[in-house]
Structure 1
Amino acid sequence: MTSAPVPADPPPIDPALRAALEAELDDAVALRHALHRDPRLSGDEADSRDQVLAALGDLGTPELVADTGAMLRLGAPADAGRPAVAVRAELDALPVVERTGLPYSATGSVAHVCGHDVHVAALVAVVRAMGRVGHTGPAPLLAVFQPREEKAPSGASDVAADPRFAAHEVGAMLGVHVQPELPRGTVSVRGGPVNASADEIEIEVHGRAGHGGYPHRTRDPVLALAQIVAGVHHIVSRRVDPMTAGVITLGQLQAGSAPNVVPETATARGTVRALDASRDELLAALREVVESTARAYGCTATLTVVPNEPAVVNDEALARTVARALGSRRATDGNGAGTDGLVLDTTFRSCGADDFSHYGEVLPSLMLFVGAADAGTTPGAGPGLHHPEFSPDDAMVGEVARALLAAVTAAGAALAPTADPVAAAAPNA
């Protein structure tokens, strides 16, 4: 996999394209409301996909992908030999009962509490704006409306492996996510790992059942599991380099059916995440702690690992390209704000996970984070991603769309035949 080249200077955004984007935002917000009001779970996004395609109108011929997703290309056709810039937006929602009280709140047991409705509406605004002005971007644009980000089997993995996606010769893949851990008006762009890998785990401890009044006749799996839980949470603090990031979370424990019975089995379920810690070393240490602790209490234990997503690793050159473009648009008013109303951050990363990582395994990719913590609030203090009360306000559609437009323009220029090969070889921006 070759990194995206770096142009010498960030290209300006066509003023007509910028104006066209602003003109699309009201309709994009209306689309966001429609998607938010009637969300769909992973694997059931066909209705949401069709709403998106209806909003795109006759801008091109969509291709269905990953069962309930779709792709739409603007600019030179796929057989023209021009590498495209692709942008991913997620269609699915979560099995959560929403508590936002918004007039367009979902009323069932499914809700957009991760911001995917904002991402989709923002991408639709960018596509429609480019269609309105006849696509003035420096490279073709491939909009990917992807299903199944929240649940395996991964929609991103399916799209990345699809020959129809490969036929577009994507040279750079972009994604965006609203982020309540960042202040409003901030867009974070950096190279390297920015989201962690995530694997699901199940620990099952087997003991000897018996009467609670005769514990010496039993081998208590509950006690063994309790010690395993305590031991597991020391792995990161004592087995992982403190300069790297990883986390083990056990979020579900289950044992027994009566208060006076020592059960035969006890189970725990959770996740293992590695940002720049070694994923393999974390899992190996976990297995050692689980098996040896159970054995110390006269029990046996099994660890089952269900691999999910690898880490999201941003392409270094592509990150420099986009960061340079966003940074060059800073105003001279002393507060670092750009002409797009965005402040560039190059530090944020988290142990959240995203199946966007699968694109990065086959082509240069970049995930951007757009701040969602309102002014006057402490980032991360309010309802976060997946919380029943999390819902960015409508202005976030425009903020995400402006960040995407800047990123698409910069990445497209890097892929254009006129990209400066000398600058592309530069080690730093």
Structure 2
Amino acid sequence: MGISARVDQWLRTHREKVVGWRRHIHANPELSHMEYATTDFIEGVLRDHGLEPVRFPGTGLMVDIGPESDQRLAFRADLDALPISEETDLEFASTVPGVAHACGHDVHTTVALATACALAESDLEHGVRVIFQPAEEVMEGGASDVITWGGLEGVGAIFAVHAEPKLRVGRVGLRTGAITSASDVLKLKVCGPGGHSSRPHLTSDVVYALSKVATELPGLLSRRIDPRTGTVLVFGTINAGYAPNAIPETGTISGTLRTADIATWRTNEPLVRELIGQILAPTGCTHELEYQKGVPPVLNDDLATALLADATRSIDPQAVVHAPQSSGGEDFSWYLEHVPGSMARLGCWPGEGVKQDLHRGDLVVDERSIGVGVRLFAAVVEQYGAGATDGFLAE
């Protein structure tokens, strides 16, 4: 009996237990870097199944399964919840006020946990590592910490799934290249001598300066950056002043700059600084720019994505669909800076009713997606062991 068949049999036997794991995690969400109880719970389950996980400093852990290998296959899940109030009527809704698993991380974690426990009862030709990463939802995210702690040592390739509530359960969305975007944060403070609005010539008009940045910077970027890179600047806040007849001394504007192109991401900051300086120079205002770099785009390796596609079709020939490129950020990208791999979109819409969105308190996922994710990971392990990785393993 092959690995996929064994895992499928294991799932059929332990389905209720696996769903119970997910509901426990969902009802007890924890914010980034605070996933202590979640880490304890996962460690306990893994040890109950004969595995020996290794905890990371603080929160998170990883576990190795199968023979020792310098080209392990890795799967990654993320543990943290969001500072959002849950707005569902689920019996296992969040018991923590203001915190909810509104991004599907409870599903990701359960898929990885069930995969580890099922594989523990299989004879593996290749070693497998399952990583339970803390703090995906914040910057700096937990992926960089996991890498620092040795999470990728001996890993040849890495895979992950992300819940997709706009995709029917049973479908798996795949995309070669950028499937997410980089997302940087800009916070600009503009200063100048304020004064009475009847004498603007005696001031440096901060409100006017901020308005120039808000309208001109996005346009200038669109003329300096290849539009095929999907680079978009959107301002979310602008604040200045306290009275209609007074020109303020300071004001701020902040927003996000997103791109699907990693080369553009690496050169955006100096260009933004150059253009802001040029926009503000005629106004006489001074400025301070805080430019916070986020994560690079998730760049799915072509051969790794092809392996995912083959694995998906081995479960259901009709399951593979094309995943659109997202403007959201995901720190799984940091792993792909070191080893090849791919992230898939895991359908969790039941096929009827409203298609919901991530990062909303009313998100409800179809729990059948957990089984799909576990079977997908098992099929990847089987493909990996059969030599389908030739040509893309990390050197």
Q: TM-score, normalised by structure 1?
A: 0.83
Q: Tell whether 2:134 aligns with 1:161.
A: no
Do the aligned partners of residues 28 and 39 (structure 1) sit closer, same or farther apart at CA in structure 2, a change above 3 Å counting? same
Do the aligned partners of residues 69 and 288 (structure 1) sit closer, same or farther apart at CA in structure 2, a change above 3 Å counting? same
Q: Which has the higher contact order (CA 8 A, sep 6+)?
A: 1
Q: Tell whether 2:16 aligns with 1:30.
A: no
State the match for 2:252 in structure 1.
267
Where do 1:29-428 residues align within 5 Å?
29-56=19-46, 57-76=48-67, 80-81=68-69, 83-106=71-94, 107-131=96-120, 134-163=121-150, 165-167=151-153, 169-235=154-220, 237-276=222-261, 278-331=264-317, 336=318, 343-376=319-352, 382-414=355-387, 424=391
Do the aligned partners of residues 238 and 388 (structure 1) sit closer, same or farther apart at CA in structure 2, a change above 3 Å counting? farther
Q: Distance in 2 between matches of 1:62 and 1:117?
A: 19
Q: Is the 8 A contact 1:172 1:411 kept in 2?
A: no
Q: Is the 8 A contact 1:160 1:362 kept in 2?
A: no
CA displacement 1:153-196 (0-9 Å, x = unmatched): 32111111223x354x1111111101234344321223322211
Where do 5+ consecutive residues of structure 2 fail to align?
none
Q: Is the 8 A contact 2:241 2:248 kept in 1?
A: yes
Identity over aligned residues, as a percent? 32
CA displacement 1:325-373 (0-9 Å, x = unmatched): 3234445xxxx2xxxxxx1024432121111111111111211111234
Q: Distance in 2 between matches of 1:182 and 1:210?
A: 55
Q: Is the 8 A contact 2:69 2:126 kept in 1?
A: no
Q: TM-score, normalised by structure 2?
A: 0.89
Q: Distance in 2 between matches of 1:305 and 1:190?
A: 30
Moved more, 19-28 or 47-56: 19-28
Residue 232 of structure 1, CA deviation: 2.7
State the match for 1:6 in structure 2.
none
Q: Distance in 2 between matches of 1:232 and 1:184?
A: 41
Moved more, 296-305 or 30-39: 296-305
Give the 3-state SS of the residue equivalent to 1:323 in structure 2: helix
User: Which amino acid in the other structure matches residue 185 of structure 1?
Assistant: G
Residue 118 of structure 1, CA deviation: 0.7
Give the 3-state SS of the residue equivalent to 2:227 in structure 1: coil
Do the aligned partners of residues 75 and 12 (structure 1) sit closer, same or farther apart at CA in structure 2, a change above 3 Å counting? closer
Q: Distance in 2 between matches of 1:401 and 1:213?
A: 68
Residue 275 of structure 1, CA deviation: 0.8
Q: Distance in 1 between matches of 2:361 and 2:4?
A: 39
Q: Is the 8 A contact 1:91 1:120 kept in 2?
A: yes
Residue 24 of structure 1, CA deviation: 2.8
Residue 65 of structure 1, CA deviation: 1.5
User: Which amino acid in the other structure matches residue 402 of structure 1?
Assistant: R
Q: Is the 8 A contact 1:235 1:285 kept in 2?
A: no
Q: Distance in 1 between matches of 2:227 and 2:4?
A: 46
Do the aligned partners of residues 405 and 298 (structure 1) sit closer, same or farther apart at CA in structure 2, a change above 3 Å counting? same
Residue 72 of structure 1, CA deviation: 1.1
Q: Distance in 2 between matches of 1:156 and 1:120?
A: 15
Q: Is the 8 A contact 1:37 1:105 kept in 2?
A: yes
CA displacement 1:228-282 (0-9 Å, x = unmatched): 1122332454333233222222222222344543221111222222212611443
Q: Is the 8 A contact 1:290 1:302 kept in 2?
A: no
Do the aligned partners of residues 307 and 159 (structure 1) sit closer, same or farther apart at CA in structure 2, a change above 3 Å counting? same
Q: Is the 8 A contact 1:74 1:140 kept in 2?
A: yes
Give the 3-state SS of the residue equivalent to 2:256 in structure 1: strand
**Alignment RMSD, CA only?**
2.5
Residue 141 of structure 1, CA deviation: 1.7
Do the aligned partners of residues 14 and 183 (structure 1) sit closer, same or farther apart at CA in structure 2, a change above 3 Å counting? closer
Alignment size in residue pairs: 389
Q: Is the 8 A contact 1:177 1:370 kept in 2?
A: yes
Give the 3-state SS of the residue equivalent to 2:50 in structure 1: coil
